[in-house]
Amino acid sequence: MEKWQLDALNFEVKAIETFLGFKFEGETIEEKQEFVAAHKDKRTEVTSELLRQAYEDYVKNPTQS
């Protein structure tokens, strides 16, 4: 795995821990990949909800963006 790929994987793990509240307790790259894959649907759901809310806020008051 190249350094940029490892950096991206570590970023995804940290984002899941921070925004979804799931704690990563593994150590290996494989465990990180499994952790990220296991939470893919929840990440998609949360991201979609945040985008929907931001869009609704913008539509209600476009001059505030």
Cβ proximity of 22 and 39 under 8 Å: yes
pLDDT at 21 over 70: yes
| Single pTM value for the model | 0.71
Cα–Cα distance measured from residue 3 to residue 46, given in angstroms and rounded to the nearest whole number: 28
Q: Where are the alpha helices (DSSP H) in 1-65?
A: 3-15, 29-38, 40-60
pLDDT (tens digit per residue) in 28-40: 999 999 999 999 9
How far is the C-alpha of 16 from the C-alpha of 24, rounded, in Å?
A: 9
Q: Which residues contact 28 (CB under 8 A, 6 or more apart)?
A: none
Q: Provide the pLDDT confidence category of residue 59 given band limits of 50, 70 and 90.
A: very high
Supply the mean pLDDT for the chain: 93
**What does the block give as tokens for 39?**
């939470």
